[in-house]
């Protein structure tokens, strides 16, 4: 018998989406017990790394409109966004900015005391709301601290969820390992919100926290829910060398230049209208093109890079508005941006894809919702605009928290708990992984997975590369790396790491197959062998369902309301 | 267990410290008016005690420093170990010691200044 | 109950001289404050006891005075003077700090971070207090040894 | 500015002298659930000029000993996971470059004054509880906004923000608590982390919870157990300067501010 605990609402993941959902549900109904379960300590989620801004229309007097935010989002998505979803995001966001503000968010202000906003890529108005350049950090703090007000929110710090348990019709609970003690638990619940964030660590050059692995996506996938649009990965133009830590788009929003070897602002050749503030897919492709055509710089680690020049902003402005990246740049690449341009190159930054949900964040299984980066409600389509992701987390955190609380109160019916599935899961992870044996070092396999994706499915892709990448991943599947050398129970991160690697393989496979199938270039997915967008054949979402042999791929229509797809030019 | 709010206790701690600075300065300056060795002559000391103002000052100084010193001791002891019984013992122990020291010192001052030697 | 393993450094954490290099003069000032406070308390209790001999007549008083008329006695008194001056001086610095003076103004921190509250003014005060305490000890010795 | 340049160029010149070198990494190993012993395992690992202590530890974990228990996440000094003692001084492993340490032997140990979970990972329960205790949120009646009421922001000038922004930068890494000498003895002390947060919310012009918060910290193991030893501010990796916050907080309790 495994130990068992019980909550009404389980929230998997404690990033912006998870915490926002917890607050909303707690507020909605003070009688439901909410368990926020995270494999990191709650406030240490990846969301703390978000830097530049949160998009919202709050300056309507100054001429911004919600309509314009919607259109920018849809156009940025290369018309793959579901337009009703984008509309929902833009309409709900302004209120959320003020709500965060009332909870204590230290937004940067204008002299007159109002909340300030800055420019961001792909927008036709400066609408990225910011707090220096540590937006995600401050938002996390605001939400985490606000959670402390509620007695019905409980935090389960450092609990690794391994699987979702359901009876075929509705959600019943999850299984999880409490890292500090190493005990395996069943957590029973009436509803689940998956907010396990992005999976960018499947690439080796990545802005993500080291904890951003696809285990959350994978558990939904294994439980029978679809992963949607996984081939769309965003590469951020400015990851600092050599670590890949992000230099926010806000740096360009505040007026930074991108320069090539000839000291030229090369973006004028790619997006003359928006220059450095074109959407990220376009800027990243421009940088890769410049480098491959020999106009890049050689970094002392041997990698090609471009320069991001902030010197003309001056020391004071850099300190006031970009203090975070100043610190990062000085510490992690020995460059003071006031004195020298920063060495940057495109870096894996965001997964447009995720768990397939509808506009309300409901996943395909009754009682399960997904929010934040783990979810794909198709608000970002083929390419997300900067600052729209923290917005998404907050809006769908709120929506799912509210709907899930209602569901628990009004719709949920008790059902028989399928205990045998817990036994099967225990067998899977303890016999299949913990007590496994083999020669191959799992950490080397992890490196190989991420190197493979880095080599074969980066900014520019082609059929041959993608297929060889898929071969490589499938070959790794057969190697004997599923074993845990650390035999202790307590704080066994070796164990959780191997489970993470296990999930990386499955999700990498879905990503590659999706990319192979999509024979066009759209948003973040750029094929050199099919360089144009093909609306006739590919204006649809990709769904992938789990099957022990090979993922089952399906198509899903795009919701188009007002805006007919047109050529995307900046 | 709290007899007084901690902030009040600490205000007293700082207040007594400031008072003590002031009075100690006077105390020492009075010593300075005489030659050091002379000032400690039995007769001179008795004479000093019998100046009523000086005696009152000494009494005040005694109280101030005792309060301050034993509260300081209480703080240190509170930080050494925790637990309700222990903390209660520390608080009352310090108050009691303080009271005893003040009583003992006062006996000297009062008896001397009243000429009971 | 939390396990108590290494949960506290204990008194070692206070005394450990290796700490002071790493943590700066403020921490040293604190431990010295504590030691001088306790020293003064001990002296004060002794002093009350000693002065109570005045009630026992001149002979006893003189005898008890004798004890501090020796070289060791003088050194002891000098240390008390030093402790007193240091404790007073540092106490005034602490009180000013705790009242909000000399800490600098809160504001956006810029990397590399230098805590404003541990500023040169405060450090100078600590060194000055130690200096004055030493001077006072020297002066006291000069007087006592005549 | 020149000071900063000097720091950077110093690091550069150090690294140019030894582009790739090896260091000895000594990792404290213990598992209190099994026994109370602590031992040091030594590993020799290659480093270059950008290698952080966290990189070095993870290198060991990936290639030499999978069982090293260490907490980490963001690797960019934002999440507060990786606090530990590095050559005796509390610091973030991901924010300490090996070359900065200027030695060939690096010793990493768990933070002091926290119970050890295993190896380098410590238990934060007490700190999180203390943080919760000081009401770390903006207290006001209208803190929940009803949709469509047209409520906008509460005005705050940039100067108002400057009053608390530094304290708001706390990443809850616990380094300050591990360095504080009172923490070393007093297990009931609220600690510099929580006290700095109490100040953060009191200094926020939007907040109305001052009186309650002051009551909470005005306890025999509250704010008065800080003696301005300053070690908290010395080790804080984010420039929070808890010591300043605590002293400023005290001026409210002493009746000098309201
Ligand atoms: C460097 C960087 C900068 C960014 N800047 C911006 C920006 O300026 N503006 C913007 O809008 N967006 C930005 N983004 C994107 C945005 O930060 C993320 O999309 C967003 O934070 C994701 O939040 P989340 O709540 O979905 O999940 P996360 O914050 O990623 O949290 C995931 C949570 O799930 C938990 N978890 C995962 N797996 C498990 C498991 N198996 N069991 C239990 N718990 C689990 C983790 O512990 C964690 O708590 C940035 C992203 C990066 C990488
Ligand atoms: C005359 C001037 C004095 C001043 C200005 C003064 C000031 C202070 C201050 C401000 C503190 C608090 C320190 C802290 O919070 O860490 C303190 C502590 C203390 N004082 Fe004094 N003091 C004086 C005299 C004395 C005397 C004469 C004694 C002895 C009887 C004494 C004994 C103590 C003790 C035992 C402590 C506790 C130390 C600690 O908490 O670390 N003080 N003093
Ligand atoms: S105040 Fe500084 S040292 Fe303390 S927890 Fe916060 S960030 Fe860490
Ligand atoms: S180290 Fe501790 S004693 Fe006070 S100034 Fe900082 S809390
Ligand atoms: S890993 Fe996040 S602070 Fe070091």
Contact A242, A358 (CB under 8 A): no
Active site includes A252? Answer: yes
Pairwise CA distance, residues A282 & D189, whole Å: 54
Non-local CB neighbours of A226 within 8 Å, separated by 6+ positions: A355, A356, A364, A543, A544, A545, A554
Which residue among A44, A127, A166, A252 is the active-site one? Answer: A252
**Mean pLDDT of all residues in A458-487:** 96
pLDDT at D6: 55
Non-local CB neighbours of A145 within 8 Å, separated by 6+ positions: A103, A104, D136, D137, D197
Residue A570: pLDDT band (50, 70, 90) is confident
Phi, then psi, of A166 in degrees rounded to 5: -145, 165
Query: Contacts of residue D248 in chain C, CB cutoff 8 Å?
Result: 100, 103, 106
Distance B78 CA to ligand 1 centre (A): 43
Residue at B40 is within a domain: yes
| Percent of all residues in chain C with a pLDDT value above 90, rounded to a whole number | 64
Which residue of chain B comes nearest to D182, CA vs CA? B79
* 3-class state of residue D85 by DSSP: strand
DSSP-assigned letter for residue D140: -
**Minimum distance, in Å, between the CA of residue C35 and any CA atom of chain D:** 13
pLDDT at D17: 39
- The answer, yes or no, to whether residue A455 has pLDDT greater than 60, is yes
Q: Please report, in tens digits, the pLDDT of each residue of chain D (258 residues total).
A: 445 555 544 444 444 434 578 999 999 999 999 988 899 999 999 999 899 999 999 999 999 999 999 999 999 999 999 999 999 999 999 999 999 999 999 999 999 999 999 999 999 999 999 999 999 999 999 999 987 788 999 999 999 999 999 999 999 999 999 999 999 999 999 999 999 999 999 999 999 999 999 999 999 999 999 999 999 999 999 999 999 999 999 999 998 887
- The answer, yes or no, to whether residue A217 has pLDDT greater than 80, is yes
Which of D51, D76, D83 is the best residue to mutate to test the A interface, defined by the most A CB atoms within 10 Å of its own CB?
A: D76
Active site includes A483? Answer: no
Residue with tokens 């609970």: A173
Of the listed ranges B89-98, C59-68, D56-65, the least confidently predicted one is: C59-68
Domain that holds residue B74: 6-113
Pairwise CA distance, residues A270 & A266, whole Å: 7
**Mean pLDDT of all residues in B87-106:** 96
Q: How many CB atoms lie within 10 A of CB A418?
A: 15
Q: What is the domain class of D3-122 according to CATH?
A: alpha beta
Residue with tokens 């909870």: A103
The string of pLDDT tens digits covering residues A316-350 is: 999 999 999 999 999 999 999 999 999 999 999 99
pLDDT at D2: 46
At the topology level of CATH, where does D125-253 sit? Fumarate Reductase Iron-sulfur Protein; Chain B, domain 2 (1.10.1060)
Q: What does the block give as tokens for B30?
A: 């009075």
Pairwise CA distance, residues C128 & C125, whole Å: 5
The string of pLDDT tens digits covering residues A411-427 is: 999 999 999 999 999 99
Number of H helices, E strands in chain D: 10, 7
Residue at C3 is within a domain: no
Q: Would the CB atoms of C37 and B101 count as touching at under 8 Å? A: no
CB burial of residue D166 (10 Å; 0-12, 13-18, 19+): buried
| Percent of all residues in chain A with a pLDDT value above 70, rounded to a whole number | 100
**Does residue C8 sit at the D interface (CB-CB below 8 Å)?**
yes
Provide the number of structural domains found in chain A: 2
Residue with tokens 């990972």: D121
Residue B2: pLDDT band (50, 70, 90) is low
Query: Contacts of residue A332 in chain C, CB cutoff 8 Å?
Result: none
Residue at B1 is within a domain: no
Where are the domains positioned within chain D?
3-122, 125-253
Query: Atom 8 in ligand 1: which residue has the minimum CA distance?
Result: A52
Residue A181: pLDDT band (50, 70, 90) is very high
Provide the number of structural domains found in chain C: 1
Task: Indicate whether residue A361 lines ligand 1 (CB < 6 A).
Answer: no
pLDDT at A115: 97
Q: Would the CB atoms of C118 and D234 count as touching at under 8 Å? A: yes
pLDDT at D150: 86
Which residue of chain B comes nearest to C91, CA vs CA? B17
Which of C8, C32, C123 is the best residue to mutate to test the D interface, defined by the most D CB atoms within 10 Å of its own CB?
A: C8
Instruction: Enter the ipTM.
Output: 0.94
* 3-class state of residue D48 by DSSP: coil
* 3-class state of residue A551 by DSSP: coil
| Percent of all residues in chain A with a pLDDT value above 90, rounded to a whole number | 98
Residue C144: pLDDT band (50, 70, 90) is confident
Neighbours of chain D (3+ CB pairs under 8 A): A, B, C
- The answer, yes or no, to whether residue C3 has pLDDT greater than 80, is no
**Mean pLDDT of all residues in C102-109:** 93
- The answer, yes or no, to whether residue C4 has pLDDT greater than 80, is no
Which of A141, A154, A325 is the best residue to mutate to test the D interface, defined by the most D CB atoms within 10 Å of its own CB?
A: A141
Domain that holds residue A252: 241-346
Provide the number of structural domains found in chain B: 1
Residue B1: pLDDT band (50, 70, 90) is very low
Do A and C touch (≥3 CB pairs < 8 Å)? yes
Residue at A425 is within a domain: yes
Q: What does the block give as tokens for A220?
A: 């939904």
pLDDT at D35: 86
| CATH at B95 | 1.20.1300
Helix (H) or strand (E) holding A191: strand A191-194
- Sequence-ordered strand ranges (E) for chain C: none
Distance D65 CA to ligand 1 centre (A): 29
* B window 3-22, beta carbon within 8 A of D: 5-7, 9-11, 14
pLDDT at A109: 97
Which among A290, A325, A346 is the end of a domain? A346
Which residue of chain B comes nearest to C46, CA vs CA? B101
């Amino acid at each position: 018998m495994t130990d068992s605990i019980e909550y009404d609402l389980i929230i998997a993941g404690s990033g912006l989406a998870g915490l926002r959902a917890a607050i909303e549900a707690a507020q909605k109904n003070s009688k439901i017990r909410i368990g926020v379960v995270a494999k990191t300590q709650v406030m240490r989620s990846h969301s703390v790394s978000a830097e530049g801004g949160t998009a919202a229309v709050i300056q309507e007097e100054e001429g911004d409109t919600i309509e314009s935010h919607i259109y920018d989002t849809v156009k940025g998505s290369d018309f793959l966004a579901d337009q009703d979803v984008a509309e929902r995001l833009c309409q709900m966001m302004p209120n959320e900015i003020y709500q965060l503000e009332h909870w204590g968010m230290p937004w940067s202000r204008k002299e007159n005391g109002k909340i300030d906003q800055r420019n961001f890529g792909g927008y036709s108005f400066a609408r990225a709301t910011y707090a220096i350049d540590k937006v995600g950090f401050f938002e996390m703090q605001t939400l985490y601290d606000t959670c402390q007000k509620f007695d019905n929110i409980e935090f389960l710090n450092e609990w690794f969820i391994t699987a979702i348990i359901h009876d075929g019709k509705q959600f019943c609970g999850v299984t999880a390992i409490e890292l500090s003690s190493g005990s395996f638990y069943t957590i029973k619940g009436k509803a689940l919100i998956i907010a396990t964030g992005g999976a960018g660590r499947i690439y080796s050059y990545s802005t993500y926290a080291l904890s951003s692995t696809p285990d959350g996506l994978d558990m939904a996938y294994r439980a029978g829910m679809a992963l949607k649009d996984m081939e769309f990965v965003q590469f951020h133009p400015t990851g600092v060398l050599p670590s890949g830590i992000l230099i926010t788009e806000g740096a360009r929003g505040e007026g930074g230049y991108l320069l090539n070897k000839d000291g030229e602002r090369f973006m004028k050749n790619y997006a003359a209208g928006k220059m450095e503030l074109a959407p990220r897919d376009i800027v990243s492709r421009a940088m890769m093109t410049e480098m491959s055509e020999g106009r890049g710089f050689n970094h002392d680690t041997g990698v090609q890079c471009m320069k991001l020049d902030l010197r003309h902003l001056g020391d004071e402005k850099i300190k006031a508005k970009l203090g975070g990246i100043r610190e990062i740049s000085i510490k992690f690449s020995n460059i003071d941006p006031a004195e020298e341009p920063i060495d940057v190159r495109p870096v894996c930054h965001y997964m447009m894809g995720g768990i397939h949900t509808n506009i309300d964040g409901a996943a395909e299984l009754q009682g399960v919702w997904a929010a934040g980066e783990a979810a794909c409600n198709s608000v970002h389509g083929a390419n997300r605009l900067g600052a729209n992701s923290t917005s998404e987390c907050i809006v769908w955190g709120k929506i799912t928290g509210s709907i899930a609380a209602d569901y628990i109160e009004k719709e949920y019916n008790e059902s028989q708990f399928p205990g045998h599935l817990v036994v099967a899961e225990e067998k899977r992870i303890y016999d299949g992984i913990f007590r496994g044996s083999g020669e191959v070092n799992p950490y080397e396999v992890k490196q190989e997975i991420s190197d493979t994706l880095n080599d074969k499915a980066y900014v520019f892709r082609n059929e041959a590369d993608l297929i060889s990448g898929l071969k490589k991943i499938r070959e790794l599947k057969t190697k004997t790396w599923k074993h845990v050398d650390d035999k202790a129970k307590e704080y066994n991160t070796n164990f959780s790491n191997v489970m993470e690697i296990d999930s990386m393989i499955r999700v990498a496979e879905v990503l590659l197959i999706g990319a192979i199938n999509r024979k066009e270039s759209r948003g973040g997915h750029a094929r050199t062998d099919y360089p144009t967008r093909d609306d006739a054949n590919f204006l649809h979402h990709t769904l992938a369902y789990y099957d022990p042999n090979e993922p089952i791929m399906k198509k899903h229509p795009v919701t188009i309301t007002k805006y007919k797809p047109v050529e995307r030019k900046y | 267990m709290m007899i007084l709010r901690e902030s009040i206790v600490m205000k007293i701690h700082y207040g007594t410290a400031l008072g003590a600075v002031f009075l100690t300065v006077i105390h020492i300056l009075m010593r300075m008016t005489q030659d050091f060795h002379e000032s400690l002559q039995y007769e001179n000391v008795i004479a000093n005690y019998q100046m009523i103002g000086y005696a009152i000052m000494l009494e005040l100084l005694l109280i101030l420093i005792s309060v301050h010193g034993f509260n300081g001791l209480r703080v240190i002891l509170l930080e050494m170990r925790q637990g309700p019984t222990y903390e209660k013992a520390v608080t009352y122990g310090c108050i009691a010691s303080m009271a005893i020291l003040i009583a003992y010192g006062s006996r000297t001052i009062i008896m001397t200044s009243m000429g009971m030697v | 109950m939390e396990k108590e393993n290494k949960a506290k450094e204990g008194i070692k954490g206070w005394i450990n001289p290796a700490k002071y290099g790493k943590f700066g003069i403020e921490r040293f000032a604190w431990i010295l404050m504590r030691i001088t406070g306790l020293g003064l308390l001990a002296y004060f209790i002794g002093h009350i006891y000693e002065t109570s001999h005045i009630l026992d007549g001149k002979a006893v008083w003189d005898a008890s005075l004798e004890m501090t008329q020796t070289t060791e006695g003088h050194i002891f008194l000098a240390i008390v003077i030093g402790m007193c001056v240091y404790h007073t001086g540092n106490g005034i610095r602490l009180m000013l700090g705790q009242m909000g003076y000399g800490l600098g103004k809160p504001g956006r921190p810029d990397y590399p971070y230098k805590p404003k509250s541990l500023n040169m003014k405060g450090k100078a005060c600590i060194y000055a207090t130690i200096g004055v305490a030493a001077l006072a000890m020297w002066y006291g010795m000069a007087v006592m040894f005549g | 500015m020149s000071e900063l340049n000097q720091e950077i160029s110093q690091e550069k010149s150090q690294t140019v002298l030894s582009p790739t070198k090896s260091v000895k990494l000594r990792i404290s190993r213990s598992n209190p659930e099994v026994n109370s012993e602590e031992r040091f395992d030594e590993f020799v690992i290659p480093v270059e000029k950008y290698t952080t202590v966290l990189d070095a530890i993870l290198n060991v974990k990936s290639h030499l000993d999978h069982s090293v228990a260490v907490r980490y996440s963001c690797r960019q000094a934002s999440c507060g996971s990786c606090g530990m003692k590095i050559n005796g001084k509390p610091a973030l492993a991901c924010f300490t470059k090996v070359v900065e340490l200027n030695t060939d032997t690096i010793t990493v140990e768990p933070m002091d004054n926290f119970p050890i979970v295993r190896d380098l990972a410590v238990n934060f329960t007490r700190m999180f509880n203390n943080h919760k205790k000081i009401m770390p949120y903006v207290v006001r009646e209208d803190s929940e906004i009803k949709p469509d009421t047209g409520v906008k922001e509460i005005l705050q000038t940039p100067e108002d923000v400057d009053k608390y922004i530094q304290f708001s930068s706390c990443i809850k890494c616990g380094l300050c608590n591990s360095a504080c000498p009172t923490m070393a003895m007093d297990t009931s002390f609220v600690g510099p982390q929580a006290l700095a947060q109490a100040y953060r919310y009191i200094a926020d012009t939007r907040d109305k919870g001052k009186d309650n918060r002051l009551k909470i910290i005005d306890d025999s193991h509250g704010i008065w157990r800080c003696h301005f030893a300053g070690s908290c501010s010395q080790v804080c990796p984010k420039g929070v300067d808890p010591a300043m916050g605590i002293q400023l907080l005290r001026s409210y309790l002493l009746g000098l501010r309201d």
